Structure 1
Amino acid sequence: MLTLAALLLANAFFVMAEYALVRARSTRLEEMERQGVRGAARARRMLRDPERYIATTQLGITMAGVGMGWVGEPAFAFLLDRVLGVPLRGLGETAARSLSALTAFVLVTFLAVVLSELVPKSLTLDNPERIAVRVARPLELLSRIGRPLVWLLERSAGLVARLLGASGSARRGASYSVQELKLLVEAAQRSGTLEDSERVMLHAVFDFGDLRVREVMVPRTEMVAVPASSTVDELIAIAIEHPYSKFPVYEGTSDQVIGIAHIKDLMRARHGPSQVAAVRGLMREALFVHESLRVQDLLARFRASRQHLAVVLDEFGGTAGLVTLEDLLEEIVGEVSDAFDRTPPLVKRLPDGSALVDGLMLIEEVNQVLGLHLEDSHYDTLAGYMLGRLGRVARLGDEVEGHGMRLRVEAMDGRRIARLSVRPGAPAESPQAPP
């Protein structure tokens, strides 16, 4: 029985060591090493070559399991035969011994599974790093002792695997795909490890590399640009009216941006020794990028050029819009407002159940906020959806109905739809002209 107990403990040790190698995190062990925890450095080294040590644990588990069957079953069968032999004597000697052997097999299996498999696994999964630092030294010693046998078994297994068609090119420490990382983040949020805001931010980081400049830029119709012939006083008036520190400078039309005017340069021109009369004389060279450029590549250009604003060009070389470093940041952390921002909310709910919505709000966002189901494959914004439904240039007061709601143009900015009202309406879809 002492031999059986020793084999149970040995099996439990190898099970704990195997799960510790699989589940322990190198970052956590590194932190424990900095805290001076003994064995943490050795455990980290073992994680760099886990296959070697896992092979040792599997060999140990197999040998301990065989030993438990070899030693435990005959011992239990002998004891049970002594105990059950008399009551079962009426069944015959062969039947009594067979029943004793079967009972011994069940008992040994139960003890092996519970005491040397399930309990060690539960203890290890509760804190794999703590177990890893404790088993590291003896496991390393056993690995050295059993290295020849482990090497022979690994080579034999590799040969058989190749004969069965395995390529043998499995990557050590295989990396996760973006989708797998997102699933891990979702699981961490459900378990309470991450806040919902952290989950949203991490998802934004994962999606950041797929974004194009056209998806984050400010369109040309929303740009605040100044003519190159403007005076310094005129630029000061524009700067006071808008909460920006840089303004695109154009020649002729905003489709021909030729530079960027900085407020700092404006102040120097106004109060410095050299007097500059026109904006053309103080503007700086602009950074031009194509609208199809990936935002992560744009971020690299911002770093290299030490600029925080770029003019976006379309496929014809005209101005499509502009993009700033703040626009890129907002794709990760969400909307960033400073003390000078006076932008009205994109959605303003009214007491009568309707809502005022900014025309540039994305259809997807409108659906999420207001619980609608608008779809349009040709337009991204609510204003674009309205124009598509009307089939013409919008006018103040234009209305369309459909999808259980009614859209009405409430404000125009030139020919652009600035704001719309959304209210419950009829399900039929029919554009209506204003009275």
Structure 2
Amino acid sequence: MSEWILFAAGLLLSLGTGIFVAGEFALVTLDRAELEAQRERGIPRLGLTIAALKITSTHLSSAQLGITLTTLLVGFTMEPALSSLLSGPCAAIGMSRPVVGVVAPIIAMTIATLISMILGELVPKNFALALPQATARFVMPFQTAFTWMFRPAITVLNGSANGILRALGMEPKEELSGARTADELSSLLRRSALAGVLEADTATLLGRTLRFAALDASSIMTPRLAVVAVQRHDSAEAIIELARQTGHSRFPVYDKNLDDVVGIVHVKQAVSVPRERRGDVPASALQSDAVRVPETIKLDALLGELRGRGYQLAIVMDEYGGTAGVATLEDLVEELVGEVADEHDRTRAGIVRRGDAVSFPGILRPDELLERTGIRVPEDDDYETVAGFIMAHLGRLPMVGDDVPLAEGTLRVQRLDGRRIDRVRFEPRHPAAVVEGASGVRVAEGASGVRVAEGASGVCVGEGASGVCVGEGASGVRAVGAPAVSTRRGAVSLTPLGETDHGASRGAQ
């Protein structure tokens, strides 16, 4: 009879372990700010949980002490009780007394451990993770009472642990921080989008918003070389014509050069001049004051500056006092919501995909390129754009056709605008190898450096393939637009582009 009492006591102690485990996981899952907001809305029975979250470290130490004590007591009660209860059945199946003395305790310890793990650890842990708030409401009265009863022991144990941490140069925290960094929030947004909790567009917008405050004016400005400006002596008629050609509505007005910007002129001010006087009225008579900001100003501060003063355009200054570029309110909005086009924008080539290759403007930042194409370019403080990365890698002025290798492929300078890299082409790697004896093989368009081994037959080498070597004995080979093709001894039926070889076509299928 006493064995069953001890076994029942062990079960109760396992449930006690479960209370401490559930309280521990509930405390590390809940957010105090959210609970305080719920209490303000009138949700009851949150006071003990909020109070516990203010001294989380103490309550976690209390939970660990409770788990240790109850687990030890389970071993002292349930294991001997089960061992005694199992001795009879073991002897009944023919085990000798010495064997029973070894086997029964092992089986009893195994059963006691399983009961303790399942009832005392796994079930309460999973329950607390699934319903942390309901769990905290139930267990916090027991947890708080235990913490009050064993406060001296908990203080000694917690103080000893904190002393070790301080000796290692770390400052212990009593309360878990509910704050999250921008990187943590961005990671949370990505996981939420992948899990389907957030719409992809919503996650992208929120991610852009988080990134917005970390960027500065140099990240979004139109660089100096691309700025379209007017001299202070240019006429209203010239301003209207420039607006017609470029699609822009606002222009910086400079005196001697672009480092000497004296104001901003809007095309509507030029249009308001009577037609017969437009050739005589200079830009200096129409200009308004210009907002000047350093290129290191953060975007949120720049947005506040433009909105506060009612301006649409700011002149971005470099550290030497010269003009680095211009930033507009539209640039800021596009950083948040993506590319915005209106009826006055001129069509411009953006990202163009042809097969696996991608052509894009060199002015794109690495993070923009990754977001819009999935192409990863290393980021560094030494450059702002993909064009800057290429120039940093080359160590000289770029030329059309210059290649820069990436982990996933190659960046090639596609077009220059003066000395500036205007467009870049990304070509992914396509390794191809055809093993000896392969037949009926087709090599895809754009493959390069392909070698077809001895004995290959019925091979079709696609358009644009270069440097192709067809081995000895190859037959029925068709090369479409393939330069620098070498066919070794015995190769037959090599058909250039524009000709037809029915046997070769059939062999390539």
Q: 1:267 to 1:170 in 2, by over 3 A?
A: farther
For each residue in 1:205-256, what CA deviation from the matched residue of structure 2 results, as whole angstroms up to 9, or x when unmatched?
Answer: 5554554433321023332323323444554555566555533122244342
Whether 1:50 and 2:52 are equivalent positions in the alignment is: no
Q: What residue identity is the alignment partner of 1:319?
A: T
Q: Does 1:314 align with 2:318?
A: yes
Give the equivalent residue in structure 1 for 2:137. Answer: 133
Out of 31, 40, 44, the position equivalent to 1:38 is 44
Structure 1 residue aligned with 2:96: 91
- The CA deviation at 1:282 is 4.0
8 Å CA contact retained: 1:258, 1:285: yes
Gap change, CA 1:216 and 1:407, over 3 Å in 2: closer
Distance 1:317 1:168, change over 3 A: closer
- CA deviations on 1:346-382 (whole Å, 9 max, x unpaired) are 14568xx79995755549678998899999x999566
1:149-200 deviation line (CA, Å, top 9, x unaligned): 42233234445x369x444513443566655555444444443334444554
SS in 2 for 1:85: helix
| CA separation of 1:111 and 1:355: change in aligned 2, threshold 3 A | closer
1:11-26 → structure 2 map (5 Å cutoff): 11-26=17-32
User: Partners in 1 of 2:127 and 2:353 — Cα distance?
Assistant: 54
Matched to 1:155, the amino acid is G
Structure 2 residue matching 1:44: 3-state secondary structure: helix
Three-state SS of the structure 2 residue aligned to 1:39 is coil
Residues 405 and 305 (structure 1), Cα distance of their counterparts in 2 relative to 1, 3 Å cut: closer
* Greater percentage in helix: 1
The separation in 2 between residues aligned to 1:7 and 1:98, in whole angstroms, is: 25
Between the aligned partners of 1:421 and 1:16, the Cα distance in structure 2 is 56
What TM-score does the superposition give when structure 1 sets the normalisation length?
0.73
**Residues 223-372 of structure 1: matches in 2 within 5 Å?**
223-232=227-236, 234-236=238-240, 238-239=242-243, 243-262=247-266, 277-299=281-303, 301-302=305-306, 305=309, 307-348=311-352, 360-362=362-364
Q: Partner residue of 1:150? A: 154
Identity of aligned residues (%): 28
Match of 2:16 in 1: 10
State the secondary structure of the residue aligned to 2:158.
helix
Contact preservation (8 Å) 1:405, 1:426? no
1:170 corresponds to which residue? 172
Q: Does the CA contact (< 8 Å) of 1:310 and 1:322 recur in 2?
A: yes
Q: Residue in 2 aligned with 1:115?
A: 119
CA pair 262-188 structure 1, distance change in 2 beyond 3 A: same
Who is 1:217 aligned against?
221
Cα gap change, 1:407 to 1:58, in 2 (>3 Å): closer
| d(CA) in 2 for partners of 1:354, 1:104 | 64
User: Do the aligned partners of 2:14 and 2:70 also contact (CA within 8 Å) in 1?
Assistant: yes
Cα distance, 1:21 vs structure 2? 0.4
Residue 322 (structure 1) shift: 0.3
AA matched with 2:23: A
Q: What is the letter of the counterpart of residue 21 of structure 2?
A: V
AA at the equivalent of 2:263: G
Counterparts of 1:185 and 1:30, CA distance in 2? 24
What's the RMSD between the two structures over aligned residues? 4.6
1:72 maps to which residue? 78
For residues 229 and 256 of structure 1, the distance between their equivalents in structure 2, rounded to whole angstroms, comes to 14
* Alpha-carbon distance, 1:5 to partner: 2.7
What CA deviation, in whole Å up to 9, does each residue of 1:39-61 have, x standing for no partner?
A: 33542342232112222222221
- Per-residue CA deviations over 1:320-351 (Å, capped at 9, x if unaligned) read 2101233233334322223433333414568x
By how many angstroms is 1:22 displaced? 0.9
CA distance in 1, matches of 2:398, 2:158: 74
Aligned partner of 1:432 in structure 2 is none
Shift of 1:258: 0.6
Given the superposition, is the C-alpha separation of residues 283 and 44 from structure 1 closer, same or farther in structure 2, using an over 3 Å criterion? farther
Compute the TM-score of the two structures, normalised by the length of structure 2. Answer: 0.64
What residue identity is the alignment partner of 2:25? Y
Partner of 1:63: 69
Give the Å deviation of 1:114.
0.8
Compute the displacement of 1:106 (Å).
Answer: 1.4
Q: What is the alpha-carbon distance in structure 2 between the residues aligned to residue 32 and residue 80 of structure 1?
A: 52
Q: Cα offset for 1:33?
A: 3.7
Specify every segment of 5 or more residues in structure 1 that has no aligned partner in the other structure, as ranges.
271-275, 429-435
Aligned residues: 408
Which moved further from structure 2: 53-62 or 290-299?
290-299
Confirm or deny: 8 A CA contact 2:263 2:287 kept in the other structure: yes
Q: Which amino acid aligns with 1:216?
A: I
Q: 1:309 to 1:379 in 2, by over 3 A?
A: closer
- Given that 1:25 and 1:129 are in contact with CA atoms closer than 8 Å, whether structure 2 keeps it comes out as no
SS in 1 for 2:44: coil
Whole-angstrom CA distance in 1 between matches of 2:47 and 2:59? 15
Q: Secondary structure at the match of 2:233?
A: coil
Residue of 102, 105, 115 corresponding to 1:101: 105
How far apart, in 1, do the equivalents of 2:419 and 2:251 lie? 23
1:346–1:361 Cα contact (<8 Å) kept:
no
| Distance in structure 2 (CA, Å) of the matches to 1:18 and 1:338 | 56
User: Partners in 2 of 1:132 and 1:262 — Cα distance?
Assistant: 63
Q: Which ranges in structure 2 are unaligned for 5 or more consecutive residues?
A: 1-6, 275-279, 405-409, 428-445, 447-463, 468-509
Q: Offset at 1:142? A: 3.5
Q: 1: distance between equivalents of 2:192 and 2:466?
A: 41
Q: Is the 8 A contact 2:398 2:413 kept in 1?
A: no
Q: Is the 8 A contact 1:406 1:426 kept in 2?
A: no
